A and B are shown apart, each in its own frame.
Chain A
Amino acid sequence: MNGPDYVLELPNELDAIDRAVSFLLERGEEAGFERDRLRLNFRVGLTEALVNAILYGNERDPDKRVRVEAVFDNDKATIRVTDQGTGFDPSAVPDPTLPQNRGETGGRGVYLIRCLMDHVEYNASGNSVTMVLRKRNGPSNSTTSSDTSMKTADRTSLGHEIGRLAEQYRRTFPERAVQVWARDGSDWTIVYASNGGEDPEPGPSTARMTTDTGLELALDVGEQGAALDFFIGALEMILGYEEEARSAAREIAERYEEINLLYSISEVLGSVVSLPAAAQKILSEVAETLGGRRASLWIHDERSNRLVLAAAVGEGGTPDSIAVDDPRSVTARVFREQSPLNVERGATLPRGGDDVRPSEEAFVSVPISYTPPEGETRIIGVITLIGRVHHARFSAGDARLLAAVASQVGAALETQRLMEESVQRQRFQRELELAHDLQMKLLPSTDDFRGVIDIEARCAPADSVGGDFYHLVRLSETRCAVVIGDVSSHGFAAAMIMALTMSAIGIYARESEHPSEVLRRLHRSLISELESTEMYMTIWYGIVDAEQRTVTYANAGHPHAFMMRGDGTRERMDATNPPLGLLPLPEYGEGVLGWEPPGDLICLFTDGLSDALGHGKASGEGELLDRVAALADQPSDAILARVFADAQNGTDVPPDDRTALIVRGS
């Protein structure tokens, strides 16, 4: 590159890029470059090269500079970007379009430059890149035509091209200047002349040709036979170039759209948006890029085995979901057979059964696959485009691009779905923990009764929340209501009954001196709740009187309530009535026992504890009481700690709520 037209010395900052690119774009426009080539190829290629120079070459060093040299010739622009870094090996940059590299953040710039520029060359050390961009239709003094096809190529560009080639091969014709004329019916025009050529019309020794569009060309290289041979060879070359240029232009345009699309998809998926919003955005981008009139994105729901509409673009009666085995749905078929379908307008759409109606619109549908980090690829949904704007069909390239998008989308959507699920699980877990804490807080503290009666209690739900409970209500200086209960279930429903019971007891215990009356009222207020949830509740309600030395109790079906005497004997405080929630009774029974502290000990528990100790056998109750008796000389909390620890080992029974209370005199 000799004698650049423009030399720019840029500071090493990204802000400088825009100014430099804008300046050179204007020069390119003045030099007659096509606007679309400037806007896309020139702007993007140059910008990428500058970004690379500033960020990677100069490594953001503010003390370094980037040099840009530009030459605008008749037919091409040559731009060289040089940084002050140590350079890099461009052949080591991976192809970002390969599946294994798509996740890489870098490498796209170098790839883009190669795609967009006609020629790219790095110097040996790799800190300088020279890019050449040719005009599509030849030099600027030609009458430019936007169509690149040979058939409509005007005489000047074709003639000029031939002349240029002849010039390059001038060594073959050293004795004469090269000159080319062209005419399409009227007068000859000189379309190319090397230095010295000045004849206004072709002489008799020139070789002549007529193209299939009627354009007449004349070439003078001084020797007719050689000129004719050259004519033919040159035309073949030009045709080849034209074809190459056309396909390159197509590919660049296609690639550019593809890269753009994948960029915007990763942008959408990278930002924190909800699953439906992401699906909708991606689908709009896809439909716009591929020119689809309508588009729909379907995600498979495993529970219902249906494809559920996640997003839709365009008018049309799209259903909310499709059964996977629907024989009439092409989308369902693509999902079932796990292979894409591309049908042009008017072709027979492979519907099920005898339905062989031709498709009213072009149709392309691809499965969305997802490959987990470890495991098999599976199909999670389908993307369908219907109706191609201006065309009868989607190209194979369209279908391939859609498939590429689908695989990206699949991974992202699946990841997002799993994330949402895990967030929900965590939320549910937090709520369970809250419920557990709340339930534990409902249980009264035993500290309030010290000095009068010594009460120790422990309650361990099987799940986060359970149906076991105990309650303590201080009735006077010397009297206290003690309650243990077991709702016939656990989980939230049981916990709700438990909470209702706790608050109801708080009220009724102070309204009535009689345990039987408290249970009667309790039953009345709970029965509809219990019946509607098909639960019942065993409950032992006793009033411990430290002054009278008695225990007065009512027992609705609770089997495990014992008076353990100082002399080693045990008395069961039998049920006076069936459990609550079965039958409304007009009256409840009561029992009274003498209570002689400190020897006598009241032991209450639920079957979760005795079943665990007895490994599911009825003997658990006896074992539990034996243990308590053996530990009777120890403090109550030590006894409970020991019994619960032993029950913890009973892992051969289904988990159940476990509760126990020990009441002694102070």
Chain B
Amino acid sequence: MAFEVTENGGVTIIDVEGQLIVGNRQELKQKVLERLDSGERKFLIDFTNTGYIDSSGLGVLVSLSKKIREQGGELRLANLNEDLKTLFELTKLDTLFHISNSRDEALQTY
């Protein structure tokens, strides 16, 4: 439902539909960690269809980013809308993530 997982050129892509909030963040976490466990290392979360991320949503992105990094992988984010971009800038989280303006841009530079 809220999270659709696909694969493109060795990168696991997760589309977030709607919101990433306290109620569904565990689901995202579980989906990503399952794939990390099965050996995937490159991840991209696409926020094209995402309206809102609350503070616990930000928390799960941070925690996933750390876990992936510990395994020698990377988590990138793409297609944040203006509000979400502001949110990342306000919290200075933009300094911790590789944030791309489009999915292709993220995939090309991986």
Contacts and interface: CB of A to CB of B under 8 A. Distances in A.
Contacts of A572: 90
B52 A617 contact: yes
A654 B57 CA distance: 13
Interface string B75-89: 000000001001101
A147 interface: no
Interface stretch (A33-41, A188-196, A348-356, A533-541): A533-541
Contacts of B54: 607, 611
B93 A654 contact: no
Interface in A564-623: 572, 574-579, 582-583, 607, 611, 616-618
Contacts of A607: 54-55
Give the interface centre of B22, B54, B90 by most chain A CB atoms within 10 Å.
B90
Interface residues of A, number: 26
A559 interface: yes
Interface of chain B: mostly helix, strand, loop or mixed: helix
B92 A488 contact: no
Contacts of A578: 91-93, 95-96
Interface in B18-33: 21-23
Interface string A463-489: 000000000000000000000001011
B66 A618 contact: no
Given A582-B66, A618-B83, A489 B92 contact: no
A557 interface: yes
Contacts of A535: 59
Contact of B92 (A557, A616, A617): A557
Contacts of A618: 52, 83, 86-87
B96 A583 contact: yes
B12 interface: no
Contacts, number: 56
A488 B96 CA distance: 17
Contact of A579 (B21, B52, B93): B93
A583 B62 CA distance: 10
Given A486-B55, A559-B87, A616-B52, A576 B92 contact: yes
B102 interface: no
B100 interface: no
B71 interface: no
Contacts of A616: 52
A574 B90 contact: yes
A582 B54 CA distance: 17
Interface in B44-66: 52, 54-56, 58-59, 62-63, 66
A533 B83 CA distance: 29
A538 B58 CA distance: 11
A575 B96 contact: no
Given A534-B63, A654-B23, A579 B56 contact: no
Given A583-B96, A654-B22, A654-B23, A489 B91 contact: no
Contacts of A576: 92
A538 B96 contact: no
B25 to A, nearest CB: 11
A607 B90 CA distance: 12
A55 to B, nearest CB: 65
A577 B92 contact: yes
Contacts of B83: 618
A559 B91 contact: yes
A488 B58 CA distance: 9
Contacts of A536: 59, 62
Contacts of B90: 557, 559, 572, 574-575
A558 B90 CA distance: 7
Contacts of A583: 96
Give the interface centre of B56, B92, B95 by most chain A CB atoms within 10 Å.
B92
Give the interface centre of A538, A557, A572 by most chain B CB atoms within 10 Å.
A557
B52 A654 contact: no
Contacts of B86: 618
A294 B23 CA distance: 52
A559 B22 CA distance: 19
A488 B56 contact: yes
Interface string A527-556: 000000011101000000000000000001
B64 to A, nearest CB: 10
A557 B90 CA distance: 6
Nearest to B97: A578
A583 B70 CA distance: 13
Contacts of A489: 56, 59
A145 B86 CA distance: 105
A539 to B, nearest CB: 11
A582 B52 CA distance: 22
A61 to B, nearest CB: 72
A575 B52 contact: no
Nearest to A557: B91
Nearest to B93: A578
Nearest to B87: A559
Nearest to B65: A582
A314 B54 CA distance: 61
Contacts of A488: 55-56, 58-59
A654 B91 contact: no
Contacts of B96: 578, 582-583
B57 to A, nearest CB: 10
Contacts of B59: 488-489, 534-536
A400 to B, nearest CB: 53
Nearest to B82: A618
Given A486-B55, A618-B52, A582 B62 contact: yes
A534 B22 CA distance: 14
Contacts of A558: 91
Contacts of A654: 21-23
A59 to B, nearest CB: 68
Contacts of A486: 55
Contacts of B22: 654
A575 B90 CA distance: 6
5 contacts: A557-B92, A575-B89, A575-B90, A583-B96, A654-B22
Closest 4 CB pairs of A and B: A559-B90, A557-B91, A575-B92, A488-B59
Given A534-B63, A616-B52, 17 more contacts: A488-B56, A488-B58, A489-B56, A535-B59, A557-B92, A558-B91, A574-B90, A575-B91, A578-B92, A578-B96, A579-B92, A582-B62, A582-B96, A583-B96, A607-B55, A618-B52, A654-B22
Interface of B: 21-23, 52, 54-56, 58-59, 62-63, 66, 83, 86-87, 89-93, 95-96
